[in-house]
Amino acid sequence: MKQDKILIMGACGQIGVELTLALRKIYGDSNVIATDIREEHTLLKGSGPYEQLDAMDGEAITATIKKHGITQVYLLAALLSATGEKMPNKAWNINMQSLLQLLDISIQEKLHKIYWPSSIAIFGSTTPKQETAQKTIVEPETVYGISKYAGELWCQYYNKRWGVDVRSLRYPGLISWKSEPGGGTTDYAVDIYYEALKAGKYTCFLSEDTYLPMMYMDDAIRGTIEIMEAPAEQIKSRMAYNFGAMSFSPKELTEAIKTHIPDFSIDYQPDFRQDIANGWPQSIDDAAARNDWGWAHKYDVAKMTESMLSNLKVKLQVPS
Ligand code: AKB
């Protein structure tokens, strides 16, 4: 069993739930302290220690780190792209202040490592859309994207100036069946599976040909743990790494679902999230992650669809 003691902030979110469960398997249940401002997620109950903690409350975070002898922190609390456009000031405050505060705490408390997620939202409509490179034009157009890009620069700064070992990935849309997404532009790619099983039809808030980079949660969790476990000298970018797996449109995802549910139907009513999606890359070049620390995805659309539908059938108690 590994020795580190881990604090997860935002443990009840889409990534947090599965990451907490995966880290508990590696580090031991009692060595992974899950926290969130919310009540404990049902899937976390009974799996290890849980505390309510506000990612903006620096004193409480420091006290928690001292109390448990924490050596690594994963800061996952954030407002995503769609919610951020509804509450720009709140998104900026939460996304930036929680990171800056943690970077300072990590120096004071001599943390070994920090993980902080970035996103494809750092790119904007001036960025080349296909196979978007690790280093390219970066002009984010959402508050979420601006906060993530600014955060990446701060991570790089703290690494260079203070030696903080902070690591980060630019997540594409994440597709999961265990925990629910919340407030993202890519959330349609999760909702569609629920509605396919529950109603046999889905109204999509993006147009049929909106291609976006996407990843199955199993790959995302594995990649997150892999970058955190890689030797420091392999982490050559202290900005976040492009992190890719697949790219598809709602129309293509519908075709994949139809191979299992032939009567499934979709219609399209694009809303404000279409503008956000239009500003993002359609596919990602993640050669730096593959070369530097060995990233390799395992799930494509067909394999993910099979896994999503079979797991959701059990979760939603849909008769076969
Ligand atoms: C969102 O849609 O806001 C997120 C993301 C791509 O970071 N899923």
Comparing CA positions, the residue from 32, 16, 14 lying closest to residue 24 is 32
Residue range 230-251: mean pLDDT, rounded:
97
- Distance from the alpha carbon of residue 141 to the mean position of ligand 1, in angstroms: 13
- Catalytic site residue from 50, 144, 193, 216: 144
CB 284 within 8 A of CB 132: yes
Q: What confidence score (pLDDT) does residue 1 get? A: 65
- Distance from the alpha carbon of residue 38 to the mean position of ligand 1, in angstroms: 20
Percent of the chain with pLDDT over 70: 99
DSSP conformation class of 240:
P
Active site residue 115: no
Give residue 320's pLDDT band: very low, low, confident or very high (50, 70, 90). confident
Q: With left for phi above 0 and alpha for psi between -120 and 50, is residue 153 left, alpha or beta?
A: alpha
CA distance 301 to 88: 33
Question: Residue 82 CA: which ligand 1 atom is closest?
Answer: 3
CA distance 215 to 72: 25
Question: Residue 172 CA: which ligand 1 atom is closest?
Answer: 6
Ligand 1 atom 4: residue of nearest CA: 184
Pocket residues for ligand 1 (CB within 6 Å)? 80-81, 119-121, 144, 171-173, 184-186
Assess whether pLDDT exceeds 70 at residue 95: yes
Domains of the chain plus CATH, in order, are 6-171+217-229 (3.40.50.720), 174-214+245-315 (3.90.25.10)
- Distance from the alpha carbon of residue 140 to the mean position of ligand 1, in angstroms: 13
Q: What is the pLDDT of residues 126-157, one digit of tens each?
A: 999 999 999 999 999 999 999 999 999 999 99
Ligand 1 atom 1: residue of nearest CA: 184
Ligand 1 atom 7: residue of nearest CA: 119
Question: Residue 174 CA: which ligand 1 atom is closest?
Answer: 8
- Distance from the alpha carbon of residue 233 to the mean position of ligand 1, in angstroms: 29
- Distance from the alpha carbon of residue 288 to the mean position of ligand 1, in angstroms: 21
Mutate to test the pocket of ligand 1, among 122, 171, 282 (most ligand atoms within 8 A of CB): 171
CB 249 within 8 A of CB 208: yes
Assess whether pLDDT exceeds 70 at residue 226: yes
Mutate to test the pocket of ligand 1, among 174, 190, 242 (most ligand atoms within 8 A of CB): 174
Q: What confidence score (pLDDT) does residue 11 get? A: 98
- Distance from the alpha carbon of residue 320 to the mean position of ligand 1, in angstroms: 32
Alpha carbon 228 to its chain's center = 14
DSSP string, 283-308: SB--HHHHHHH-------HHHHHHHH
Q: What is the pLDDT of residues 4-43, one digit of tens each?
A: 999 999 999 999 999 999 999 999 999 999 999 999 999 9
Question: Residue 120 CA: which ligand 1 atom is closest?
Answer: 6
Residue range 64-87: mean pLDDT, rounded:
97
Beta bridge partners of 274: none
Q: What is the pLDDT of residues 192-204, one digit of tens each?
A: 999 999 999 999 9
Sheet arrangement for strand 6-9: 50-52, 32-36, 6-9, 72-75, 113-115, 166-167
Percent of the chain with pLDDT over 90: 98
Total count of residues recorded for the chain: 320
Q: What is the pLDDT of residues 174-218, one digit of tens each?
A: 999 999 998 999 999 999 999 999 999 999 999 999 999 999 999
CB 230 within 8 A of CB 282: no
